[in-house]
Structure 1
């Protein structure tokens, strides 16, 4: 049940975020993301792990998005002056971090499958945001951007799923040791 709730909620946030950005507004996506993250923190059984994933995801997302924008491969609507990556895209990265445990558990011990899924799914998401909602624009020659997105997401998803597995296992081991010490 949590799988489906998380999937539906994440997709709703994605829709709200890119449709808002397509209309030049960052705040609908940032607000929807804040609600999603708050909900996931409330229902999560692994809050510490998900918060660590959030930190890694935000740093990774900010670095990759900034690189892609500065390389001239992607432009975004509803930008801000803090970073080349707009607030709404970083809000999506934050939400994505909270999908790793409930949605991508099967990828945690399959890094090559995670890389393949990221390399295909990441660019498809950007294509939908670009073509369907005009929230992002891939600059010609577009193959540079599509390759960069595939490589970036092909590295990001296995990194996040591997960290999730390690941190979840470490938490379980720590809890077991604590219980045995009592």
Structure 2
């Protein structure tokens, strides 16, 4: 599938804006960036079903993985007390990231080892930046958290790339 350069660039920029809006502004800002990001992608690309599936994958991964570090107190989000559910701005990040696998992260499809490496390193770098900006703390120390977090993202990113790749392959095959 030939990717539309404008959608790829737009998604990359929108996700960076989403990250800053979420980490610095919280839930209201995060969702005010995520909603138009997804809407514009769906309208411009015409793939609302495919994008919707990736949103479900992102939500499922958020629901499955966030409790790993929350319940174990490896990570504590500021002004958030649930040990099982992530704050809404984290959900927005998961959803925005997942839908990006059809746009700015499509190049990870079919490259599981690269996706794992990018997931492990990128995940830890991203969360470390968020920690430095005061969005969360690591009560048990950064290293134990980074090991668990990097490992989880080393699995999550190849999985999302694989799901997106299967969806793209089906579209090409049945188009």
What 5-or-longer segments of structure 1 have no aligned partner? Answer: 176-182
Q: Which residue of 2 aligns with 1:180?
A: none
TM-score, L = length of structure 2 = 0.89
Q: Deviations over 1:25-79 (max 9, x none)?
A: x222122222222222222243222211110111111211122100110011243
TM-score (norm. length: structure 1): 0.86
Query: Aligned pair in 2 of structure 1 residues 80, 142: CA closer, same or farther (>3 Å)?
Result: closer
Query: Is residue 2:26 matched to residue 1:18?
Result: no
What is the distance in 2 between the residues matched to 1:40 and 1:62?
24
1:97 paired with 2:98, answer yes
Match of 2:61 in 1: 60
Could you list the per-position Cα deviations for residues 114-160 of structure 1 after superposition, in whole angstroms to 9, with x for gaps in the alignment? 000000001111011110x2112122232221011111110011000
Aligned to 1:140: 140
Match for residue 161 of structure 1? 161
8 Å CA contact retained: 2:100, 2:106: no
Closer/same/farther in 2, CA of residues 16 and 150 from structure 1, 3 Å limit: same
Which has more radius of gyration? Answer: 1
In structure 2, what is the Cα distance between the partners aligned to 1:122 and 1:70?
19
* Unpaired stretches in structure 2, ≥5 consecutive residues: 1-5
How many pairs does the alignment contain?
170
Question: CA RMSD, aligned part only?
Answer: 1.8
Q: Where do 1:42-57 residues align within 5 Å?
A: 42-57=43-58
The equivalent of 2:150 in structure 1 is 150
Q: Please give the secondary structure, in 2, of the residue aligned with 1:85.
A: coil
Contact 1:114 1:158 in 2 (8 A): yes
Moved over 4 A (4+): 80-83
